[in-house]
Structure formats: structure tokens, C-alpha cells
Structure 1
Amino acid sequence: MAITNLEKYRKDLDALLQEAGGVQNSLSYSAFGHNDFYGGLLKQLGGDEKEAKAFIKNIKPFETVYQHWYSEALPLVRQILPDRLSDFIRLYEKPKSRKDITYESYRIEDACQGLRTTFGGTVKADAKAAIPLLAQQIAIVEAIKRRFESSLFDIKQLVQADVFDSELGGAQELLKNKYARAAGAIAGVVLEGHLKQVCDNHSLPKKSGTIAVLNDALKAANVIELSQHRQIQFLGDLRNKCGHRNVTEPTVEEVEDLINGVVKVIKTIF
């Protein structure tokens, strides 16, 4: 039996929360340095030097483990807890209006770059300032986990995603059997349905359900970038070619591009 989107998100969340501990250890090791971190760890382990050394040996560079963790966590926050997305990003990205790096303006991105500022020989901000920021990001991911367990969680979008996956699977099967026009028509319906849901997610009014109108509405609201807008335009043109009888039939390659493009849209635009 194929894994559902709900099960996939739960599995991904469990992995992210398990990985978060390693990311925190990596940041602490980077922030406090080997001697201080080792001393604290040794106390926690009751003086077991062998275990402490083995533990430190497995710590990976913070910028590496964090970027992987952040890249995995960001889409989940965007999909499941969109009202906390701006907070999640703000904890990582350097403020565009920042004029000076202080403890208050320091961000996780600075820690990834190893930034450290001093004034008069005194440290103003270094990677230690990123420790509470990472803790807040992890708390947001934990909130997603709790939302899964809450009866208030609305699984409509996840169920819809399962339906879309199934329909696209049917489109791919039709394409394998050379029913290009029918396969393209199904992919177009999936694209239109997803764009409607994205508009609902952002409380955007929809004058009609056409791909072009939905696409323009999302671009006007800055939900999607120009490159994404153009890609959806391209997919909409292919869909129209499949949905209307023209002199030129849609090719297998064109419908394959349409299906692959729709798969990308439903996985990256929320």
C-alpha cells in the first residue's frame, strides 16, 4: 500500500525532530569551542572520557547539518503551519535593515558564516546568540507535530494532495499508453485544483477558476515569483492544447513536460 501524504509528513517530522538534537549539539560545539563543550559534556557523562570523545567525534560542522535541517523543515512549516512561516524564516535570515551586528540582531545565518563581532575587546555577538534562535525554530517544528495530534488539525489539504498524486499517477499511465491528450487534460485539472487551494490558503478572491486568472492572482499577491508565474503560464498553454481540438496534436514530450511541471508546482507552491 502506498504511503499517504499524512503518513509522509508525520514520518518527516519525526526525523526532523530527531535530527534537531544533533543540530543543537553542533551549534553549541561551534559556539563554546572544544574545551568548554568537552568539559560540560564530561560532567554530564560522569567523567566518561571515552564516551565524551566518541560523542564529539560524531559532531558534524554546524553550517552543514543546519542547512540540511532548515531545507527540510522549511517546506513543512510552509505547508502545515503557514502562519509561523515568517517567524521561522526571520530567525534564520539576516535583517535587510540591519546596520550593526548585535546580540539582538544576530541570526542563525550569521552563525553559519562564523560571524563574530567585538567592541573594545569585548564580544558583542557570536554563535552563542544563535542558540535561542535555533531553539525557537525547533519549537515551531514541535508545534507542527502537536498539531498533527490535535483533533483541530484540518487534514483537507493532505487528503487533497493524496487525490492529486493518484490523479497524476493515472495521467502518467495514460501517457505510457500514448493517450497524450487525455493525460494532459487530467494534469491540467490537477493544476487548476491546486492553484485554487493555494489562493484559498492566502485568502485571495477568485474571479474564475481558470489557470491564467489564478496564476495572475497569486503573482499579484506576491505568493509566487516571476519565474514560477511564467512556468505556470507555460503549463497552462500546454493544458489548453490538450483540452481543445487543434490542428496540431499535443506530443508525448509536451504532455510529459506538463505532468512533470504540475508535480513540481504541487510540491513547491503552497
Structure 2
Amino acid sequence: MSERTQKFSEQLDRLIADGYKLQMAIQHECNPVEFEERLNEIFKEDKAKVKEYLKELPDFKGEYQTWYSEAQAVIKQVLPDRLSDFISYYEYPRVRKDISFKNYMVRDYLQGLQITRYDGNVTVSGRAAIPEFVQQLNIVEAAKGTLESALMDLKAVLQADLFDSEIDTASALAKAGYLRAAGAICGVVIEKHLDHVRDTHKIKIAKKNPGISDLAQLLRSSNVIRAGCELSDSDSHEG
């Protein structure tokens, strides 16, 4: 496993561990009595251990957004085909005629949304967000499985390692005063990387031989990368 892949693997391990803590936290917040009864069974009525366990649970509403942002970024790189599914469990549909257990999302829970009938009975509570979060956690675990399986994108890993080598070469050339040659190598690396990102996200391009500016503009318009400094093919290749 390359160093780059190892870093992704470690980050996913941490996200999964934090995800399980958040899952326990939201279950406790929504079902405190049942949850603590179960803990008493597990810890054999040891009140000190139960108290310590509850004390270490994170605040779901306070810590979920950080977890969500980090998990979303990793999934975008490791399992891009599932990114829209991951987001869908957080975002509620733009158009909802009513709110039910089926379309209640994690975002609703964070906002404290609860649906109550005219007689005061709660029809949809925060408990409806639990299965939505569980599905998000399942996708993060699937990303971990994909990273470790033989079906992972070995091309991306090998390409990244090759790019590191080429950048080291460019750096050596630049130090020796060969700025044009160093710039040309960096331009090729950037172009290959942008084209790989395009291919990973299955974005088609009409131009037969696209350059850096073509690829960057395409990825920006597809919301894959953020708008930033402009790159021109001539600038990057000339150094």
C-alpha cells in the first residue's frame, strides 16, 4: 500500500470510529431511557462505567457537521459514484408536500424539527434521522472496503506516485537553473492530473486534445473543483 493510500486508509478508520460514536450519541439523544437501560445490561449495573461511557459520547448536533464535511471530501476522492447518495441522506428534498419518516433527513434533526399533530401527538421526531445517518456511515465503510479491495483505482495511486517523482525531477531542474524544462514537466503533471479527475467523475469533453485551461474550466463548471487562479497552457508549459 502506497503512502498516499495509507493516509486515506487511516483517515477512513478515524471517520468510521468517530461515526460510531456519533451513532451512539444520536441514539442516546433520541432514546435516552432505552439506551441507558441497555448500557446497564452491558455493564452489569455498574453505574460508574455507565456514567463514564455517557460522558465520553460526543454532542451529535455540535460535532456532526465536521464529520460530514470530512467524510464528504474523502468519499469524493475514493468513492465518487456514491457522493450524491451520501449527500441525499443529509439534504432534504427541495420540494416536500409534507414531512414524514421517509423524507426526514439529518439536516432536519440538526434544526430540531419535529412534526406534531393538532392533538399534541408527535408524528415525526428526530428518531427518523437515525437510519439516515446510519446509511451515511455505511457509505463511509464502503469507501474503506473499496480502498482495500483489489477493485480499487490502482491507476490513481500509481499515477500519484509517478507525479511525485516527476515533481521531484522538476524541482531538481529548477534548482539547476533549467526553469523552462521544470515548468514543462509541471505542466504535464497538472494536465494529466486534471484529465484523471475528469475521467474519475465520468465527465465527457468534446475537444480532442484538451489543455490545462480546458480541463480546469470543465471541472469548475461541473462543480468538481472550486474557482481559483486561472491556469493557461502557455504559462504552465513555459515555466
Under TM normalisation by the shorter chain, which class is it? 0.7 to 0.9
Distance 1:37 1:192, change over 3 A: same
Letter in 1 for 2:235: K
RMSD value over aligned CA atoms?
Answer: 2.7
Instruction: Indicate whether 1:204 and 2:207 are aligned.
Output: no
- Structure 1 equivalent of residue 234 of structure 2: 240
- Structure 1 equivalent of residue 215 of structure 2: 214
- Structure 2 equivalent of residue 124 of structure 1: 123
Whether contact under 8 Å (1:29, 1:37) holds in the other structure is yes
Distance 1:173 1:12, change over 3 A: farther
Cα deviation per residue 1:102-153 (whole Å; 9 max; x = unaligned)? 2111111122222222113121222211111111111112222222332222
Whether contact under 8 Å (2:167, 2:186) holds in the other structure is yes
Letter in 1 for 2:39: L
Whether contact under 8 Å (1:88, 1:137) holds in the other structure is yes
Structure 1 unaligned blocks of 5 or more? 245-249, 251-270
Equivalence map 1:70-89=2 (5 Å): 70-89=68-87
Q: Within 1, Cα distance between the matches of 2:107 and 2:223?
A: 24
Aligned match for 2:55, one of 54, 57, 78: 57
- Structure 1 equivalent of residue 161 of structure 2: 162
Whether contact under 8 Å (1:94, 1:109) holds in the other structure is yes
Paired-residue identity, %:
38
Distance 1:122 1:175, change over 3 A: farther
Residue 64 of structure 1 and its aligned partner are, at CA, apart by 2.6
Q: Within 2, Cα distance between the matches of 1:23 and 1:165?
A: 36
Secondary structure in structure 1 of the residue aligned to 2:65: helix
Distance 1:219 1:71, change over 3 A: closer
Q: Within 1, Cα distance between the matches of 2:55 and 2:124?
A: 27
Residue 193 of structure 1 and its aligned partner are, at CA, apart by 0.9
Q: Within 1, Cα distance between the matches of 2:105 and 2:66?
A: 17
Q: Within 2, Cα distance between the matches of 1:29 and 1:168?
A: 50
Letter in 2 for 1:44: I
Letter in 2 for 1:209: P
TM-score norm. by structure 1 comes to 0.76
Q: Within 1, Cα distance between the matches of 2:95 and 2:12?
A: 33
Q: Within 1, Cα distance between the matches of 2:182 and 2:152?
A: 33
Cα deviation per residue 1:185-235 (whole Å; 9 max; x = unaligned)? 333222211111122121413421311222343345x2446x52xx26x13
Distance 1:151 1:119, change over 3 A: same
Equivalence map 1:63-212=2 (5 Å): 63-120=61-118, 121-171=120-170, 181-201=180-200, 202-205=202-205, 206-212=207-213
Letter in 2 for 1:189: V
